[in-house]
Chains A and B, each alone.
Chain A
């Protein structure tokens, strides 16, 4: 059986009145790249901070390499990146890297890692003087220096330009190719697509979907068609219908063109037509509301 490097078992976490995680269970086996996808405030960062021992769950158990992540020794084989703005501005690149390396038993030699990430020339510069891309590369070096088995990346490329993003993604792929395990969070499907084989969708503190990338990708291309209408007939192309204020309906669909044609053909007396991409959260809420169809994917009737 594959070793489980990280797990959340029935974890609940509140911040005051806000329920950040609601009875979440999740396992990360060795060798996987798991993408945690969800909108801001979904609970992704809370999952990560529990995993890294920064916070304690209210109930449930979080395990890192089989132990409590709050015990320092259990964090010795996990690598994570600091936020780009977190680097101590007055320290030099080499000093920051040596400091982090000093926590590990068998770190990658700093000079080697700096060369590898194209930071050799910057080694003696203070981190405050680096460009955004250089800072990000240093962050990646900090995550890798302890030869981790598990790499945890929280929104790794937010604010990066295209080149820097592709460079980072390549590093992550190399790490995985060498047998490493990765947990990466993002609110962009694109980022998760570039890296993960397994996608876990988190929204409102719950795991909505846990599936392969392909399965998830085919399900999130949803649109929301909003109309005002007194009553709606049975509509083939609607995945889920939601009644709004008054006579407004939100119709979630995989094919907005076909749905609009259908509305017209059926001569539905609708007004105020709006078509917008469903947010990830809406797409996944729609997804979970859908019960498995006996034949053909995503052909359900609106319950009007």
Chain B
């Protein structure tokens, strides 16, 4: 257990030593909220619409942590000879993986807190305790395929490629998944594509949990398929990497 704490502390230290990366991940969701949600009374004045807006930006915060903490973070770890050194210490893979997951949760929470604060103070968004808990659970479930996506990137690409790939995936998937603009305003063709994306399915799941909106029948199957596909890619990337690095 103390090894988990040690490695969690270490990963966190390393992450916050590049503050701009943290600021980006932590502040982007709340900044988007302040600019694109709060000023519009028809959303911020409406309890359901503003709760939905918070939910989708919350998923964006999780998505961004998955791609950057796991995608870029893992690629960065692999690129340094420090990683093989740590593997000579008397510690197994378990504490290191758990430490990274805890850091993911930690930074996702750091991104969510200012967002929730802004939502509570500046909009009519409100949830019951049950809805909040359901929402947190939904975020975790929706994060699974996104997490695997990050891990697949981290283990298959060098850092220099992982950064642009993470960015290229983050914004289109977030936009088309309705994390910035509610998909109700999408044209038909975009909505059709959107329904098949993990970000959209995740968004619908989180919003259903926090507002009691109907969950589209496709959401859970879409999430499951993406989780399996990204999971297989992640495992393959991890195995190939072991083969290459630890020959």
Contact = CB atoms under 8 A, between A and B. Distances in A.
Contact of A54 (B2, B84, B92): B84
Residue among A74, A85, A99 with max Cβ neighbours from chain B (10 Å): A99
Contacts of B90: 72-76, 103-104, 146
A167 to B, nearest CB: 21
A102 B88 contact: no
A83 B81 contact: yes
Contacts of B14: 88, 90-91
Given A55-B247, A103-B6, A88 B82 contact: yes
B80 A88 contact: yes
A263 interface: no
B87 A54 contact: yes
A103 B84 CA distance: 15
Contact of B17 (A49, A80, A83, A90): A90
Contacts of B91: 72, 103
A99 B82 contact: no
Interface in A87-103: 87-88, 90-91, 95, 99-100, 102-103
A86 interface: yes
B18 A82 contact: no
Nearest to B93: A72
Interface in B53-86: 80-82, 84-85
A74 B88 CA distance: 10
Main secondary structure of the interface of B (DSSP, over half): loop
B82 A82 contact: yes
Interface residues of B, number: 21
A86 B80 contact: yes
Interface string B160-197: 00000000000000000000000000000000000000
Contacts of B247: 15-16, 55
Interface string B85-125: 10111111000000000000000000000000000000000
Contacts of B81: 82-83, 85-86
Interface in A1-55: 15-16, 49, 52-55
B217 interface: no
B10 A52 contact: no
A72 B18 contact: no
A283 B185 CA distance: 79
A102 B6 contact: yes
B10 A99 contact: yes
Interface of B: 2-3, 6, 10, 13-14, 17-18, 80-82, 84-85, 87-92, 246-247
Given A52-B88, A54-B84, A91-B13, 12 more contacts: A16-B247, A54-B87, A72-B89, A74-B90, A86-B82, A86-B84, A87-B82, A88-B80, A88-B82, A95-B10, A99-B10, A102-B3
